[in-house]
Structure 1
Amino acid sequence: MGQTRDAIDLEAIRVLDLCRARGLTVATAESCTGGLVAGALTDIAGSSDVVDRGFVTYSNAAKQEMLGVSPATLDAHGAVSEETAREMVTGLLRVARTSLGVSITGIAGPGGGSAAKPVGLVHFAAGNRGGEVLVRREVFAGQDRAGVRRLSVLTALAMLAELAAREPVRDFAPGGQA
């Protein structure tokens, strides 16, 4: 019996295919998604040639210890901010030494929001070894926790695909075979 692939599977396959064709590797740094992006990628058979590692940095201490996010950044802007997402991805790329990385930090809910930072607010950063960093801010209003996390995974995968698509396609197959 055949199973239909959902949007996350299709986006994960797209990321893996783009990375494979370009000889790229990927790492993730996730807060509110708790490893779901890494999970989506590794749900696809054969992903080990692209996916290197994933960090779940739910606490501020983990963000600092594992990714080198500055305490000053967390104090000034909070864990859910563009600045923190940027530092998460730059730290990730430094630690993981992969071609591409993506970070996510947000408020999945149902609690924890405020007028300035409502439930559903998520900051993303995706970067490459060349120093290019894409950032996005989304407010997934009206979504429950599962919905915020699902839309966050889709956004993170789309950002990885966008960065991967900018890289040149290799003129040889993996393993050095023509």
Structure 2
Amino acid sequence: MFSKDILDLATAVLTAARLRGMMLVTAESCTGGLIAGALTEIAGSSDVFDRGFVTYSNEAKSQMLDVSAESLTRFGAVSAAVAKEMAYGALANSRGDISVAVTGVAGPGGGSAEKPVGLVWIGVACLGQAPVAYEYRFGDIGRDRVRQLTITEALKTLYLVISD
């Protein structure tokens, strides 16, 4: 189901979280729960993985993660502001110590000149710190590939933040 590289990254994230005593949570839009799926593919992950939110619609982002209507209207769902609010909201609505959130345009279609297919924002939040967001422009390389790269980059980001 998941590539060896993704499973190796997921294992590294879980191991790092155990070493730091951190509970993980995910908030996903364009990946539809695949990051949580990769983490929970590893046996024993329940000791450091609390939950995953799949918030594909704007309504779900608002209801489950407290993303503001103003941010959704002003910046759009695929934005740094929304990625940060998703990450923060995931922590606020869970037992997590660290969260990763993803929102993007996986395609095919749905992109624009300003927000092309392959644009993804990854947000990370840790308790007691301001959330941050990172922009990725993978290009119009196919839905599956955009999602795979998003999973990979989200797991790498989690690992780096936890290990820092």
- What letter is aligned with 1:46? G
Provide the residue aligned with 2:132 in structure 1: 134
Say how many residue pairs are matched: 162
In structure 1, what is the Cα distance between the partners aligned to 2:51 and 2:156? 18
In structure 2, what is the Cα distance between the partners aligned to 1:134 and 1:155? 14
CA contact (8 A) 1:16 1:50 kept: yes
| Map 1:13-162 → 2, pairs under 5 A | 13-162=11-160
CA contact (8 A) 1:27 1:100 kept: yes
3-state SS in 1 of match to 2:146: helix
Any gaps of 5 or more consecutive residues in structure 1? 167-178
Deviation per CA, 1:42-64, whole angstroms, max 9, x where unpaired? 00111010110000000000000
* Higher deviation after alignment, 155-164 or 51-60: 155-164
Percent of counterpart pairs with the same letter? 49
In structure 2, what is the Cα distance between the partners aligned to 1:12 and 1:71? 33
In structure 1, what is the Cα distance between the partners aligned to 2:109 and 2:9? 29
Deviation per CA, 1:5-53, whole angstroms, max 9, x where unpaired? 6110110011000001111110000000000000000001110101100
CA contact (8 A) 1:28 1:92 kept: yes
Structure 1 counterpart of 2:6, from 5, 8, 16: 8
RMSD: 1.0
TM-score (normalizing by structure 1): 0.89
Runs of 4+ with deviation above 4 angstroms:
none
Larger Rg: 1
